[in-house]
């Protein structure tokens, strides 16, 4: 990593400055290397002198000049200059940059796999929607966030598992069973009223029809409760199947489908609760059992076992996280929840802490609401009302690539409007096409070279010296930093901005530098560069879960 190199150089320079008395012997502040937004300030910069000036009361520019004089020569680093008010700017060497083309080609798609020291086993749990109805648009946001983060973590050297938690127990499932049974009665022509808390969507009617298709008498001779549960189980299976299929459309898959029910059957529920009990975190009150989260700074306690003896959702979720951390021993657990679960975040963190787990290992991303608009009209998305826009409808209308890019390009913690009309109408102007077009252009150039029988294996990359060429290389070298940034901040939206930047510098290079020309040596060198760009752009698109089209 370049930043690492520069930090080392600065650390050594500072030590040398202290040894020679130019700098007082104080403990150095954390050295931060940033990328200046103005390219005139070089490739990297540090404001270390400004920070040192504060503690040493010396002139920052003087410190900067002194440090620069102590910076050891390095094959990667060219110019190092001190500038007012107290920055040190680094510029990378052009010949080193050019050589990176070979490095990228040699390493292929894995070139940016950074091995972070902290890398370990990480679990990302996302979507985890109750299997009581189809996925809607908001779920798509979580699905895309989660699957992209998983890609990024894998690229950063972590061992990642993607998991879907199936809520196959509890009240909502019960309501689902009762709703389905009612629809079944109606299907048979009986008069039956949907339950108060039922699922009213038409999909429930379709579901019954589907289950009964060609098998009308399968429940005929069974007693009522058995019909309800038999029907319910079949319905669940079908809906889970639909959820899987819908996610597949978006390019989202899971390694583990984890059953809530299994926490009760496998004993984790009991173990988790007795662990809390032993820690003194449970108390009896009003006939129920409470988790005393106020002891951990929460504003209120929460019920874990109702007065009728049944566990709350919170209780099973505690058991679930007990299983994640203490049974399966993940180093990091990331949950992606919708904004409607906000109230659950802090008490869950408290519960994790109560089980003796380092809260740093537990991260929750809450993705804010997505409101749908059709033209000017707002569409409220609710699963229980009949009026829903499903994720499937959205993907079929807009396309998976555009969908992914659109959702990814906003930070998770800001709410977003998704205007279906606009998404369709502007599809030609959608940045996704801009980025993919760059990729198609690249493959087209390489195709031409192949058709002309140009073998560029022996191309000499030291011929790559012009500004558009070096700018492209600089941008390509940024990807590992983006991957690291996202792994640390859990903010995958940076990828979309990077993809557009990369496409832009490629288009600019293309415009200014003829690749296949009469200058054979230069052609070969540039073909190598184009091939490297293809690798990096393809990598970027795949991290986002998008396709890299050869033609469009």
Partner RNA sequence: GCGCCUAUAGCUCAGCGGACAGAGCAUCGGUCUUCGGAACCGAGGGUCGUGGGUUCGAAUCCCUCUAGGCGCGCCA
In angstroms, what is the minimal distance from the CB of 551 to RNA? 4
- Report d(CA 326, CA 268) in Å as an integer: 10
Closest CB to RNA among residues 279, 287 = 287
In angstroms, what is the minimal distance from the CB of 106 to RNA? 23
In angstroms, what is the minimal distance from the CB of 350 to RNA? 12
- Report d(CA 404, CA 432) in Å as an integer: 9
In angstroms, what is the minimal distance from the CB of 158 to RNA? 21
- Report d(CA 225, CA 394) in Å as an integer: 37
Q: What DSSP designation does 279 have?
A: T
Closest CB to RNA among residues 88, 211 = 88
Question: Partners of 419 in the beta sheet?
Answer: 373
In angstroms, what is the minimal distance from the CB of 213 to RNA? 29
In angstroms, what is the minimal distance from the CB of 219 to RNA? 27
What is the residue whose two structure tokens read 């990828």?
Answer: 495
3-state per-residue secondary structure call for 200-232? CCHHHHHHHHHHHCCCCCCCCCCCHHHHHHHHH
In angstroms, what is the minimal distance from the CB of 310 to RNA? 7
Closest CB to RNA among residues 129, 252 = 129
Closest CB to RNA among residues 327, 410 = 410
- Report d(CA 186, CA 332) in Å as an integer: 48
The SS3 call for residue 89 is: strand
- Report d(CA 60, CA 49) in Å as an integer: 5
Closest CB to RNA among residues 105, 364 = 364
- Report d(CA 523, CA 472) in Å as an integer: 16
Q: What DSSP designation does 462 have?
A: G
Closest CB to RNA among residues 187, 437 = 437
Closest CB to RNA among residues 123, 132 = 132
Please name the residues in contact with 396: beta carbons below 8 A apart, sequence gap of 6 or more.
249
- Residue 81: which of 21, 51, 52, 40 has the closest Cα? 40
């Amino acid at each position: 990593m370049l930043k690492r190199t520069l930090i080392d150089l600065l650390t050594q320079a500072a030590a040398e400055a202290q040894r020679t008395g130019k700098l007082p012997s104080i403990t150095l502040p954390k050295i931060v290397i940033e990328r200046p937004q103005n390219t005139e300030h070089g490739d990297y910069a540090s404001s270390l002198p400004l920070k040192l000036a504060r503690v040493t009361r010396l002139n920052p520019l003087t410190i900067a000049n002194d440090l620069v004089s102590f910076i050891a020569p390095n094959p990667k680093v060219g110019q190092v200059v001190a500038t007012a008010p107290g920055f040190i700017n680094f510029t990378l060497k052009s010949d080193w940059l050019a050589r990176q083309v070979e490095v990228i080609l040699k390493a292929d798609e894995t070139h940016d796999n950074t091995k972070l020291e902290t890398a370990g086993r990480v679990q990302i749990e996302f979507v985890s929607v109750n299997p009581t109805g189809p996925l809607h648009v908001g779920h798509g946001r979580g699905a895309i966030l989660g699957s992209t983060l998983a890609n990024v973590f894998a690229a950063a050297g972590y061992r990642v598992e993607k998991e879907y938690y199936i809520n196959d127990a509890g009240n909502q499932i019960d309501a689902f069973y009762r709703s389905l049974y009612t629809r079944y009665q109606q299907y048979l022509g009986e008069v039956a009223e949907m339950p108060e808390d039922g699922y009213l969507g038409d999909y429930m009617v379709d579901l019954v029809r589907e289950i009964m298709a060609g098998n009308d008498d399968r429940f005929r001779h069974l007693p009522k409760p058995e019909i309800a549960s038999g029907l319910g189980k079949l319905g669940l299976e079908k809906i889970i199947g639909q959820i899987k299929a819908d996610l597949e459309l978006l390019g989202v898959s899971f390694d583990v489908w984890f059953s809530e029910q299994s926490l009760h059957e496998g004993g984790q529920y009991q173990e988790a609760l007795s662990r809390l009990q032993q820690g003194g975190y449970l108390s009896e009150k009003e006939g129920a059992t409470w988790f005393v989260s106020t002891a951990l700074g929460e504003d209120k306690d929460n019920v874990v076992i109702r007065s009728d003896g049944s566990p709350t959702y919170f209780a099973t979720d505690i058991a679930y996280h007990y299983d994640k951390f203490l049974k399966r021993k993940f180093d990091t657990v990331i949950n992606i929840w919708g904004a409607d679960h906000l109230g659950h975040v802090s008490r869950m963190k408290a519960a994790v802490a109560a089980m003796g787990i380092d809260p740093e290992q537990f991260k929750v991303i809450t993705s804010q609401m997505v409101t749908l608009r059709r033209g000017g009209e707002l569409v409220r998305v609710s699963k229980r009302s009949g009026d829903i826009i499903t994720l499937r409808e959205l993907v079929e209308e807009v396309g998976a690539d555009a969908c992914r890019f659109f959702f990814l390009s906003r930070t998770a913690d800001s709410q977003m409007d998704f205007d279906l009309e606009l998404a369709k109408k502007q599809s030609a102007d959608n940045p996704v096409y801009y980025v993919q077009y760059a990729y198609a252009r690249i493959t087209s150039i390489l195709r031409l070279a192949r058709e002309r029988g140009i073998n560029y294996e022996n191309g000499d990359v030291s011929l790559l010296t012009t500004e558009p060429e070096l700018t492209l290389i600089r941008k390509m070298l940024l990807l590992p930093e983006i991957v690291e940034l996202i792994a640390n901040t859990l903010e995958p939206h940076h990828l979309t901005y990077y993809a557009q930047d990369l496409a832009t510098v490629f288009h600019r290079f293309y415009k200014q530098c003829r690749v296949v020309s009469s200058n054979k040596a230069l052609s070969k060198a540039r073909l190598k560069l184009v091939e490297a760009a293809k690798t990096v752009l393809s990598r970027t698109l795949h991290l986002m879960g998008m396709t890299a089209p050869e033609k469009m």
